[in-house]
Chains A and B, each alone.
Chain A
Amino acid sequence: MSDKKLIYLDNNATTPVDPRVVEAMLPYFTEHFGNSASRNHPFGWAAEGAVDKAREQIANLIGADPREIIFTSGATEADNLALKGVAEMYKRKGNHIITLETEHKAVLDTCKTLEKQGCEVTYLKVNRQGLVDLAELEAAIRPTTILVSIMFANNEIGVVQPIKAISDICVKNQVLFMSDATQAVGKIPVNVKELGIHLMAFSAHKMYGPKGVGVLYVSRKGPRVKVTSQIDGGGHERGMRSGTLNVPGIVGMGKACELCAEEMEADAARLSKLRDKLETELMKVEEVVFNGHTEYRMPHMTNLSFKHVEGEGLMMTFNQNIALSSGSACTSASLEPSYVLKALGLGDDLAHSSLRISLGRFTTEEDIDFAIDAIRTGVNHMRELSPIWEMYLEGIDLDSVEWSEH
């Protein structure tokens, strides 16, 4: 690829900060730099006012009350606060948590820690499209269940869970319902009251805001939920999360949410058209598998497996020009293939061959046309190098081969 273009199609990993968000944040670094907890002078009052405005902008996006917004350093911290905070606060009621195999590590690793501390966790399986089975969820609830934690939209395959139905089951059984909605908030409508979500984690940097700031929404009414703080020192955020607030970051997150509220619908419509074009063209390539659900999914992304071609190698054919992700073991720090794709029942070989392509506000049709061409060319090139592609063309059934592991 000699073309100098650099295209970003990894918006599920992070997004660029919208210039309008940067503009909103800047005064809070050098001009209105006060600590929002300084109650006795104009610097503090200005900062506090800015934070209050951000709370409103954020609450407005998700249909909440501003008092239900707890600021954190990101969605990972918000997930930790929700899970650990609920486990501690409600330990007299019980110690059982239900979640999904396909949750983000911020939820799964926190659950593993809670298990070591004496909690019991059920990790429900998902079906081939990544959806939870509602009957299985209800059957898993026990008298000791205190929390169900199910992510709104999956970060790898974009599948959107039946949130209202899950909430109904939780409410019926008097169990709290938490959702890690990092991939959904700001991209599709999320109304916590209408959907019956009691706790919700999300992050600024997935919606054109800065990294380092996120929110845990904690319901105040119907039901009134409390979480035991995991970070102590001053009692900020109604005693749920201490520490001086990241005022510029929070201002940025507020502005990002305001922009999403205004532009989300139009963005989603435009991006889903581009995504559909990309997906349709790439699925014309021989031996391509679609991963996820064709209907209940995010509008801006797709996850496809290109059989007989390994993901990292494929990405190397165009990564000087295009940024995206793969479920291949070779691209992960742990050298494990994507556990989400495994949970769908795909063989590991399909995980190794997968690409996750996620569009964003700044993606153009030109970018998509370039990507279609580059990926197609890359796949063909890698297939010429691939012994298993050659075997497939010869009609050999790869499942019947005795491979030598090492």
Chain B
Amino acid sequence: MAYSDKLLDHFKKPKNVGTLDKAQKNVGTGLVGAPECGDVMRLQIEVDETSGLIKDAKFKTFGCGSAIASSSLATEWLKGKTLDEASSIDNMDIVEELELPPVKIHCSVLAEDAIKSAIKDYKSKNAE
């Protein structure tokens, strides 16, 4: 399967690999997928309490090249966004940007799920 240059770049040099402290109040953690499915993504956001903007995002993924590239791209896009803007990231945006082949579209869906899961976790920790 021929991957796009952008995808290969994200795979070879993934952006924002790492771990944030999930105990911190302003960190939201999303963990989606399952080892039996061959795909697990953990995506974390750190929200600036004053501005409400996502100031840092980190990921780790167990999965194929497309899964890793999708989650790496997601962390890049999340930085500097508000939670609402982050929620509106659609999996097809990822598909287009990385030129994912049809059989790999589900990787972008998982990345979108991971974003929403991280936001949900943050919100539940910071409920008014």
Residues of A within 8 A of B (CB): 308-313, 316, 328-330, 335, 337, 347-349, 352, 384-390, 398, 403-406
Contact = CB atoms under 8 A, between A and B. Distances in A.
Given A387-B60, A388-B62, A405-B33, 20 more contacts: A308-B62, A309-B62, A310-B38, A310-B67, A316-B65, A329-B37, A330-B63, A335-B103, A347-B35, A348-B35, A348-B37, A387-B62, A388-B40, A389-B62, A390-B19, A403-B31, A403-B36, A404-B113, A405-B34, A406-B113
Interface residues on B, range: 20 to 34
Nearest to A313: B64
A313 B65 contact: yes
B45 interface: no
B60 A330 contact: no
B11 interface: yes
A405 B109 CA distance: 12
Interface string B12-52: 00100101000000000001111111111110000000000
A329 B117 CA distance: 25
Contacts of B14: 385
A328 B41 contact: no
B61 A349 contact: no
B41 A310 contact: no
B38 A329 contact: yes
Contact of B38 (A328, A387, A389): A328
6 contacts: A310-B38, A328-B64, A330-B64, A347-B35, A349-B35, A406-B113
Contact of B40 (A312, A348, A403): A403
B113 to A, nearest CB: 5
Contact of A388 (B32, B35, B103): B35
B38 A349 contact: yes
A342 to B, nearest CB: 10
A349 B64 contact: no
A211 to B, nearest CB: 22
B119 interface: no
Contacts of B62: 308-310, 385-389
B110 interface: yes
A335 B31 CA distance: 22
A390 B63 CA distance: 14
B68 interface: yes
Interface in B86-121: 103, 109-110, 113, 117
Contacts of B33: 403-406
Sorted from nearest, which 10 A-B pairs have the closest CB atoms? A403-B34, A349-B35, A352-B38, A312-B64, A387-B42, A330-B64, A387-B60, A348-B36, A386-B62, A316-B65
Interface in B51-91: 60-68
A316 B66 CA distance: 11
B62 to A, nearest CB: 5
A388 B34 CA distance: 10
Contact of B41 (A352, A387, A398): A387
A265 B120 CA distance: 63
Contact of B35 (A313, A335, A384, A403): A403
A264 B37 CA distance: 40
B63 A313 contact: yes
Given A348-B38, A352-B35, A404-B33, A310 B63 contact: yes
Contacts of B113: 404, 406
A312 B65 contact: yes
Given A385-B60, A403-B40, A398 B68 contact: no
